[in-house]
Amino acid sequence: MYGKGILKGLSVTWKRFWDTYIEDISWLLRGKKRYFTEEGIRHRSSKDTKGIFTIQYPEERLILPEEARYVPFLVYDEGSEGKKDVRCTSCGICAKVCPPQCIWIVRSNDPQTGRPIPEPTEFYIDADICMNCGFCAEYCPFDAIKMDHDFELASYGRSVYNMEKLLKPAAYYAGIRPQNYAREEEARKAKEAAKAAKAAGAVAPATS
Amino acid sequence: MTTPISPSGTLQTSTVDLGARFPSVVSADSRAGYKGWMIPKENLVEVATAIRAEFGFDLLSSLTAVDYFPENKMEVVYHAYKTTGGPGLVFRVQVPRDDPIEVPSLMDVWPGVDFQEREAWDLMGIKFIGHPDLRRILMWEGYEGHPLRKDWKEPFYEEETKPFKSRWPDGKFFLAEEKNPFHDNLKFPQNFDPEKWIPEGEALLYGSLARYTLKNEEGLNTDQIVINLGPQHPSTHGVFRAAITLEGETIVGLKPVVGYLHRNHDKIGERNTFLLNMPFTDRLDYFNSMANNFGYAIAVEKLMNIPVAERADYIRVIMAELTRVQNHLVFIGNLLNDLGAMYTPALYAFEERELILDIFEAVSGARMMCNYFRFGGVVRDVPDDVMQKIKDLVFERLPAKTDEMDRFLTENEVLVSRLQGVHVLDGETAVKYSVTGPVLRAAGVPYDIRRADPYSIYDRFEFDVAMRTNGDLYDNYLIRLDEIFQSLRILQQALKQIPQGPINSQKPQYQVRVPAGEAYGRIESPKGELGFYVVSNGKPNPWRYHVRAPSFVNITPLEQMCLGTKIADFVALFGVLDVVMGELDR
């Protein structure tokens, strides 16, 4: 029959059209909210999603996976009296491995001893040039630079981030990437324990 | 309809001995790390004809040039393959690097070299003698110099290679745009005045299209008109222009104009270190960043001669096939968009694509610019919950949704009457013009690199090479559906077989050591053969980095495809080539 194919196709769109309402009603009957809740958003981006698929940004937001990466930030540990212990040692690996070369690090020397200070004096990231590749975070040996989850970067001018803008506490990092943070802390503790054991081992024979 | 092809043909090694066939003429390339045959330019056409006609290398995959600046030599490298499968043949011509650099054109042997020769002329300045239309293709006419030569420097030139010294340890921050754009490394033609500049390229372009038939068959005075479709046109999938000569509604001449998005990806790649190129490959065909990563990783791994961790190999295949599924779904949606079925099929396709991109985001951190592959493996393992998500999609949702797409569109009478019988290409022409990918397979040539020259672990999976025989638009549509089902088959096997283990055979390192030599890594990207030609001289940066982009080579026979069809079908004919401008213009 001529027109059968069209009718077959229309049945697909017809079903898709009603799916939204059927889903809505079934969520309503179960007493759950399909919109503006985390559960609803998760369901809409799962394999069982049916009917309406869109997320009403900015009222609703997609739940970012842990590995999501946007412009990097620098991690600092909170020391005593609110002192910021910047993890960065200005080793320069991030600047070397940056594909668009958007990281600038200024290292300075201690005026008294003349030896280089590990902590960078200035740290710039040209966020407009950054391609969010994540190499800097991947190859940083000190877990000092990490990729952010903040993707709302619109601005009226050029976005060149300096240290002040880049520094974020380790607690923030732990908040956006709990699994990575836990894994790194564990590795760090193991390393420190090994170091302590080695030091104790090295000291012990001398004293005995 | 699918045709199983036995992979046995791929096991044989290349037995071609050009040296025996052309004793005093051809010599084997003796440089360390190089393979193939060196041919004097006087004999090139003769030897190439024999390679095609006698040895059966009917598909010229890639033509590119390398500037061996220190040796004062320019080299043109050819990679030829058989559509029946098996390893390829590399042959090359070396000429002194003094202008004019002249090499005979192989247009009469493989017409598919057309655009690639134009590209080599444009970027390297090699004159191909005998090429009928040797104009610049990616840069604008009137551009001074040939940017891929090693002595050419770009505006904002800072240093020969990355990493730049000004970044560390005493970084002096500056905005790129603050640097004088008219520094002495920016070259303009002498006495260039943009106000008075007459684009001679346009005159050449329209001149090549002009035909002076004033009377048609019935003796009626007629006039042909030249129209420009694009560069800004919703159906050209980006900035692409086709200058078309029309006789009434019928296309009688067509010249594609590309390069609007050109950023000299090759030059950027040669400035970068090997690893730094990985995120740049994402930006080639931004629909298939995983496939691009795959091709580049394979090329460099060949050069480094390192193995890939087994689990990583499976992850790579899973990601590449998921990429293919979403690419083909979006292709179908966009094709329907081009045909006038605005948005409904495209958005249905995008739903599934979103779910696949969610997986990419969970493993790599980005939806489109994945940057997921590393030499020897991948960045990070796929977590168990993501693996479960992939399984849910591959075993449950995607087969059902592809079926739904099939029900939704395949038998639709409007679609069928619009697509069926509109001829795209026949197999012979497609091979002649180096067309690869679904377009070639829809024309009845079952050439799929996953079978013809298996890379990675594709020889472990059971799948059929999708093939259709009519070569019309409808077959080009159907073959995408076939390929989705075959990809799902591969995915299902890979997900069942995937072992535990490390995900990289190498230690993570930000600078890899790559021995001197050359390598050509190619994969079956969803759009065709994606090749990366990489030459290393042992330094941290590639000496030559070339992308053989399927989109770019596949538009070579665009004129042949469109001659004699109606202008209204152009959009669909161009649409089935499935080009992405990021890759075409590079």
| Interface contact flag, A101 B162, Cβ < 8 Å | yes
Q: How many CB atoms lie within 10 A of CB B576?
A: 27
| Interface contact flag, B407 A124, Cβ < 8 Å | no
Query: Do residue A124 and residue A149 come from a single domain?
Result: yes
pLDDT at A207: 47
CA distance B458 to B17: 29
Q: B265-506+514-584 is classed in which CATH architecture?
A: Orthogonal Bundle (1.10)
- The domain limits of chain B are 2-129, 265-506+514-584
Query: Do residue A80 and residue A128 come from a single domain?
Result: yes
User: Contact at 8 Å (CB) between B9 and B85?
Assistant: yes
CA distance B188 to B155: 11
Query: Do residue A183 and residue A86 come from a single domain?
Result: yes
B517 half-sphere exposure, CB direction, 13 A CA radius: 18
CA distance A161 to A30: 48
Give CA torsion, residues B412, B418, B420, B423, to 10 deg: -160
Q: Residue A204: inside a domain, yes or no? A: no
| Interface contact flag, A8 B371, Cβ < 8 Å | no
Query: Do residue A75 and residue A162 come from a single domain?
Result: yes
Residue of A67, A99, A105 with shortest CB distance to B365: A67
Tokens of B37: 């045959």
Q: What is the DSSP letter of A197?
A: H
| Interface contact flag, B354 A99, Cβ < 8 Å | no
- Nearest-Cα distance to chain B for A23, in Å, is 17
- Nearest-Cα distance to chain A for B370, in Å, is 8
From B339, B489, B490, B332, select the one nearest B417 (Cα to Cα). Answer: B339
Query: Do residue A76 and residue A38 come from a single domain?
Result: no
| Interface contact flag, B393 A47, Cβ < 8 Å | yes
Q: Residue A193: inside a domain, yes or no? A: no
pLDDT at B4: 40
Contacts of B84 (CB under 8 A, 6+ apart): B9, B56, B452
Q: Residue A162: inside a domain, yes or no? A: yes
Query: Do residue A57 and residue A108 come from a single domain?
Result: no
Residue range A129-142: mean pLDDT, rounded: 89
Contacting residues of A for B389, CB less than 8 Å apart = 47
Contacting residues of B for A101, CB less than 8 Å apart = 162-164, 167
* Structure-model confidence comparison of residues A108 and B60, the more confident one: B60
From B427, B497, B431, B503, select the one nearest B459 (Cα to Cα). Answer: B497
Q: Which of residues 94-113 of A touch B (CB under 8 A)?
A: 95-99, 101, 103-107
CA distances for B202 relative to B144, B231, B233, B289, B558, angstroms:
17, 14, 19, 34, 19
Contacting residues of A for B275, CB less than 8 Å apart = 97, 135
Question: What chain B residue is nearest to A68 in terms of C-alpha separation?
Answer: B365
- Nearest-Cα distance to chain A for B534, in Å, is 18
User: Contact at 8 Å (CB) between B69 and B80?
Assistant: no
Tokens of A141: 């040996």
Q: Residue A205: inside a domain, yes or no? A: no
Q: Report yes or no: A2 at the B interface, CB cutoff 8 Å.
A: yes
CA distances for B553 relative to B423, B433, B523, angstroms:
19, 8, 15
Q: Report yes or no: A169 at the B interface, CB cutoff 8 Å.
A: no
User: Contact at 8 Å (CB) between B441 and B470?
Assistant: no
Question: What chain A residue is nearest to B271 in terms of C-alpha separation?
Answer: A99
Query: Do residue A78 and residue A35 come from a single domain?
Result: no
**Any idea which residue has 């974020």 for tokens?**
A168
Q: How many CB atoms lie within 10 A of CB B474?
A: 22
Domain that holds residue A46: 1-61
Q: Residue A199: inside a domain, yes or no? A: no
The CATH number linked to A144 is: 3.30.70.3270
Query: Do residue A30 and residue A77 come from a single domain?
Result: no
Question: Would you say residue A87 has pLDDT above 90?
Answer: no
Residue of A45, A105, A131 with shortest CB distance to B167: A105
- Nearest-Cα distance to chain A for B279, in Å, is 6
CA B171 to chain centre: 38
Question: Would you say residue A205 has pLDDT above 90?
Answer: no
Tokens of A84: 């910021």
User: Contact at 8 Å (CB) between B529 and B437?
Assistant: yes
Contacting residues of A for B279, CB less than 8 Å apart = 99, 131, 133, 135
CA distance B241 to B584: 12
| Interface contact flag, B279 A12, Cβ < 8 Å | no
CA distances for B122 relative to B117, B132, B139, B146, B207, angstroms:
8, 15, 7, 6, 19
Q: Which of residues 118-157 of A touch B (CB under 8 A)?
A: 122, 124, 126, 129, 131-135, 138-139, 147
Q: What is the DSSP letter of B435?
A: -
Residue of B168, B364, B409 with shortest CB distance to A96: B168
CA distances for A47 relative to A13, B284, B345, B408, angstroms:
19, 29, 19, 20
Question: What chain B residue is nearest to A67 in terms of C-alpha separation?
Answer: B365
Q: Residue A203: inside a domain, yes or no? A: no
Q: pLDDT tens, A189-198?
A: 898 899 888 8
| Interface contact flag, A5 B276, Cβ < 8 Å | no
Average pLDDT of chain A, as a whole number: 86
Q: B2-129 is classed in which CATH architecture?
A: 2-Layer Sandwich (3.30)
Identify residue B114 by its one-letter amino acid code: D
Q: Which of A64-73, A176-185, B176-185 has the lowest mean pLDDT?
A: B176-185
Chain A and chain B share a number of CB contacts under 8 A equal to: 145
Q: For the CA atoms of chain A, what is the radius of gyration? A: 26
pLDDT at B491: 92
Cis peptide before A99 (omega within 30 of 0): no
Query: Do residue A49 and residue A91 come from a single domain?
Result: no
- Nearest-Cα distance to chain B for A18, in Å, is 15
Phi, psi torsion values for A138, nearest 5 degrees: -70, -40
Q: What is the DSSP string of A61-105?
A: -PPPPTT--EEEEEEEEE-GGG-EEE------HHHHH-TT--EEE
Q: Report yes or no: A57 at the B interface, CB cutoff 8 Å.
A: no
Cis peptide before B169 (omega within 30 of 0): yes
Contacting residues of A for B414, CB less than 8 Å apart = 6
Query: Do residue A49 and residue A93 come from a single domain?
Result: no
Query: Do residue A41 and residue A102 come from a single domain?
Result: no
- Nearest-Cα distance to chain A for B10, in Å, is 37
3 state SS of B77: strand
Tokens of B25: 């003429």
Q: Report yes or no: A45 at the B interface, CB cutoff 8 Å.
A: yes
Contacts of B199 (CB under 8 A, 6+ apart): B140, B141, B142
Tokens of B553: 């080579």
CA distance B18 to B28: 8
The ipTM, to two decimals, is: 0.88
B242 strand-pairing partners = B229, B256
| Interface contact flag, A93 B410, Cβ < 8 Å | no
Interface test with A, best of B158, B168, B356 (most A CBs within 10 A): B168
CA distances for A34 relative to A23, B89, B321, B389, B397, angstroms:
9, 59, 32, 21, 21
CA distance B498 to B505: 16
- Nearest-Cα distance to chain A for B371, in Å, is 6
Which H or E run includes B483? helix B473-497
Residue of B167, B366, B392 with shortest CB distance to A101: B167
CA distance B337 to B127: 41
* CB neighbour burial string for A57-91, b if at least 16 within 10 angstroms, e if fewer: eeebebebbebbbbbbbbbbeeeeeeeeebbbbbb
| Interface contact flag, A5 B413, Cβ < 8 Å | yes
CA distance B67 to A153: 41
| Interface contact flag, A97 B365, Cβ < 8 Å | no
pLDDT tens across the length of chain B (586 residues): 444 443 333 333 456 777 777 778 888 888 888 888 888 888 888 888 888 888 888 889 899 999 888 888 899 999 999 888 888 888 889 898 887 888 999 888 899 898 999 999 989 889 998 888 888 888 877 777 888 888 887 766 777 888 887 777 777 777 766 665 554 555 666 666 767 766 666 777 777 776 666 666 777 777 778 888 878 887 778 888 888 888 888 888 888 888 888 888 998 898 889 999 999 999 998 888 999 999 999 999 989 888 888 899 999 999 999 999 999 999 999 888 888 888 888 899 998 999 999 999 999 988 899 999 999 889 988 988 899 999 999 998 999 999 888 888 888 888 888 888 888 888 888 998 999 999 999 988 889 898 888 888 898 898 988 888 888 889 999 999 999 999 999 999 999 999 988 888 888 888 888 888 899 989 999 998 999 999 998 888 899 999 999 999 999 988 888 888 888 888 888 888 888 888 888 8
Distance spanning both ends of chain A, measured CA to CA: 99
3 state SS of A112: coil
- Nearest-Cα distance to chain A for B219, in Å, is 42
Give the Cα-Cα-Cα angle B169, B175, B176 (nearest 5 degrees). Answer: 100
Q: What's the number of domains chain A is made of? A: 2
CA distance A110 to B50: 72
Q: What is the DSSP string of B190-211?
A: TT--TTT---HHHHHHHHHH--
Contacting residues of B for A125, CB less than 8 Å apart = none
pLDDT at B8: 38
Query: Do residue A91 and residue A182 come from a single domain?
Result: yes
